[in-house]
Structure 1
Amino acid sequence: MKRRISIGLAVVLLAAVVVAIVFGSGDDDPVPGQGAQVVRGVGGSEKAAFFADARVVEVFGRHGLRVEFDSAGSRQIATTVDLAQYDFAFPSSRPAAQRIKQDKKVNKVYTPFRSPMAVATFAPIVDLLTSQGVVHKGLGEYQVLDIAKYLELTGKGTRWDQLPGNTAYPVRKNVLITTTDPRNSNSAAMYLALVSHVLNDNQVVATPEAEAKVLPAAVKLFIDQGYTQSSSEGPFEDYLAAGMGKAPLVFIYESQFLDRQLRGDGSIRPDMKLLYPQPTLLSEHTLVPLKGEGGRVGELLSTDPDLKRLAAEFGFRTDDPKAFLDLLADRKLSAPADLLSQAEVPSYETLERLLNEIAKYYR
């Protein structure tokens, strides 16, 4: 009899403990963002990891927000994505953002992140292109890829195995930078803006005559690549995984490379190098509020010190350049403080006409 009572008491006590754990744990360890207002946004894939990071989720949660973020190409966001389902759009370029701002009659936009465009490559390629005069030292502790010299090679259809003294990469492939698909992706549009500037005698393309002048060479730079991916993450992941054989030169956002270096996960190996085009372009990640709390997300990204610090940890430049450079120095990394030679991006309308003309060659 006593044994039955003891067993019964044990069962009751066990049940009480389970109830206490179940009902007590919710107060002590809340799910990040639980009970917060959901804010939906769409933007470039290079920002997806930032919004998914638990620390970023926690900061937004402190402000009563839970951000759900979908990825799409910046050109798609400005032209084909149904923005009615989103509270904010976050394309990776100011021209795309301006188009959305005009279409949606938005008064204020936010530009919390910036990232220079860059070229991810490998040490043997750097040495080879240095010997050809295409790569040289910049004004600081960084190296630049001279776009005019590069276009001389592409204009002649030069193959890697035709470069004098090339024993590092004697491949029967054209010397070409790998980009994303110009029909969808902002990074490809930035590449077009960059090369068109140089092809137009280092002037922004702003007239029909200038468009006609640069198009033939610009078309070949894309079409000769063959298949291209729609998101900037695609070619960069190939660069990390497949090495020099598949794509020795890849057009990326600086933030993508720095993000991996800052993670310290070993994905950036010692032979992987970052070149800055000369001239380069600054990609301005611009948030366009559409409704609800979309504007608050832009405001917090621009002003909250924790979010700005976390953005720097993902390789983005904010309006606090010292904090960005100090973070890199603390991790024994470096990036140019200033990139003096910068090209101008054409107007949205001009860029769209150029992209639409190039798109015709994909059919």
Structure 2
Amino acid sequence: MRRAADHLVQVFAGTHPAEYVEDVLGTVHRRFDGRPVRDFVPILVERIARGELTAKAAAEAAAPSEAPADVQPETATATHPAATAKTAPGTTADTLDSSGRHSPEIDRPLRMWPPRIRSKGFLSLILVVAVAVVAAVVVVNIRQEEPPPPPPPPLTIVRGVIGSEKKAFFEDPRVLKALADKGVKVDVEPAGSRQIATSIDLGRYDFAFPSSAPAGELIQRQRRISTKYTPFSSPMAIATFQPIADLLTKAGVVKKGPVPTFNVGRYLELVTTDTKWDQLTDNTVYPVNKNILVSTTDPRTSNSAAMYLAIASYVANGSTIVHGASAEKDVLPLVTQLFTSQGYTDNTSEGPFNEYLTVGMGPTPMVWIYEAQFIDAATRGRIKPGMVLMYPSPTVLSKHTLVPLNASGDRVGRLLSTDPELQRLAAEHGFRSGDTAGFAKVAADHNVPVATDLIDVVDIPSYDTLEHLLDGVAKSYG
């Protein structure tokens, strides 16, 4: 402010005394008292003060022209008490600075100005315009100094444990933004769906989101919770390669069509007879001495393996849902063989599917997956030519079930189930949500043939039956 005062005193040395300049500067400065942002106050004060001083000088220059032409003032009183001057007869009054010198900026005989400019009306117009400009500058700068709007309230952090196949959905920036717009930030940790229901400490989370109704039902029983949400679902499917699909078509396992289907009954015949890949007729694409098996996850921890067991037990039980100890005992040897013959199995469906995407058909010619995983990979450009999606016949629908553990978890369950934007984004990740048209469009846009009408879908066994079968398979692992 001191530098601004020194500068303006020099600029207006010919028109205004230093004391007056400093008074104007101080008056303007006080207008900004109480403003929270102070960085640019000196610049704004100098700008406004300069405008007012300029307008004052213009007004003083215009004042002598108002006297009648035949009256010659003998003296002229300066605007400021510190400045006075005498005028010679026949001349207009001069403006003197505090030292009595003529100002180079204002010292012009008004008689040299054209009559039109010397008119009272024109000079008044100049004064009005100058004042308006100064007022506009004052208003704009004061408005610029208004405090910014308050920041939005902090997001509510909600923690959940989810089936691994939903990890990409919850990491999508668009999903994060849609939730943030509703005031929520969701932090998730992936795990096997059966693991979520049986061994994970849920006390650290606000919601549990396994990939099946049985796992959700177990959590509800254990924690005595009646509320659940099923925001989307996904049928079980098989990811394979075109040469394998062609080979199994000749073997009567795969039926070609707009959407290839995998005959589970014919497949189980090959398993029970210990048929190897190199024993298939005309096998030149995968002549290896290995059992014909679909790669799955670990049935002790993963829901997708439990869904595989549900389908296999249904077919092995004469296309009837297993119920009762006798039926359980009859099908257990076969379903156990489906798992123990594989060797190592991963805890989550993310593991074997990533191996399918990156390694090829060498170790995993057929992988048991959720339909959503294949479509989501296609949207991210990870499906290569020759990769094929098949639907087992019959199949089951995996209903992703969210169990809220408190009010925050309930809020997330409601948002995922009812918010149109989140439902649309779920469809873009391959899940079958309420946005059926969006799901069909995503699949079509990425050239993934999907079963639009799921017909050959069976129910899974009751919770208790499924647990008995899973426990029986677990015991065979030793």
Fold match by TM threshold 0.5:
yes
Q: CA deviation at 1:324?
A: 1.2
**Equivalent residues in 2 for 1:16-165, closer than 5 Å:** 35-137=154-256, 141-165=258-282
1:156-181 CA distances to partner (integer Å, 9 max, x unpaired)? 01000001111111001000000001
Q: Which amino acid aligns with 2:416?
A: L
> What's the C-alpha RMSD, in Å, of the aligned pairs?
1.8
**Whole-angstrom CA distance in 2 between matches of 1:236 and 1:167:** 25
2-side partners of 1:334 and 1:127: how far apart? 17
Residues 1-363 of structure 1: pairs in structure 2 closer than 5 A? 35-137=154-256, 141-263=258-380, 265=381, 267-363=382-478
Aligned partners of 2:416, 2:239: CA distance in 1, in Å?
27
Partner amino acid, structure 1, of 2:230: T
- Distance apart, 1:326 and its partner CA: 2.5
Distance 1:356 1:79 in 2: 12
SS at match of 1:118: strand
Q: CA deviation at 1:340?
A: 0.5
1:314-351 deviations in whole A, cap 9, x for unaligned? Answer: 11110232221133234444311112111211111111
Q: Distance in 2 between matches of 1:45 and 1:333?
A: 22
Q: State the distance in 2 between where 1:73 and 1:346 align.
A: 20
Q: Relative contact order (C-alpha < 8 Å, sep 6+): which is higher?
A: 1
**Residue 21 (structure 2) aligns with:** none
CA contact (8 A) 1:74 1:91 kept: yes
Q: 1:34 to 1:147 in 2, by over 3 A?
A: farther
Unpaired runs of at least 5, structure 2: 1-38, 41-147
Q: CA deviation at 1:353?
A: 1.0
**1-structure distance, mates of 2:153, 2:338:** 48
* Native 8 Å contact 2:155 2:180 kept in 1: yes
Deviation at 1:36, TM superposition (A): 0.2
How many angstroms apart in 2 are the aligned matches of 1:151 and 1:132?
12
The structure with more radius of gyration: 2
TM-score, with structure 2 as normaliser: 0.68
Q: Which amino acid aligns with 1:304?
A: D
CA–CA distance in structure 2, aligned partners of residues 176 and 68 of structure 1:
36
Letter of the structure 1 residue corresponding to residue 165 of structure 2: E
Query: Residues 64, 338 of structure 1: CA spacing in aligned structure 2 closer, same or farther, 3 A cutoff?
Result: same
Q: State the one-letter code of the partner of 1:203.
A: T
Gaps of 5+ in 1: 1-15, 18-26
- Sort the Cα spacing of 1:56 and 1:199 in 2 relative to 1 into closer, same or farther, 3 A: same
Amino acid in the other structure paired with 1:289: P
Secondary structure class of the residue paired with 2:286: coil
Stretch deviating more after TM superposition (94-103 or 318-327): 318-327
Tell me, in whole angstroms, the C-alpha distance in 2 between the residues paired with 1:331 and 1:241: 19
Distance 1:75 1:332 in 2: 32
Does the aligned pair in 1 maintain the 2:427–2:436 contact within 8 Å? no
Distance 2:274 2:447 in 1: 39
1:328–1:334 CA contact under 8 A, matched in 2 = yes
Percent of aligned positions that are identical: 53
> Aligned partners of 1:158 and 1:72: how far apart in 2?
34
The count of corresponding residues between Structure 1 and Structure 2 is 333
TM-score, normalization by structure 1: 0.88
> What is the Cα deviation at residue 99 of structure 1?
1.2
The amino acid of 1:51's aligned partner reads: F
Task: Say whether the 8 Å CA contact 1:325–1:334 is kept in structure 2.
Answer: no
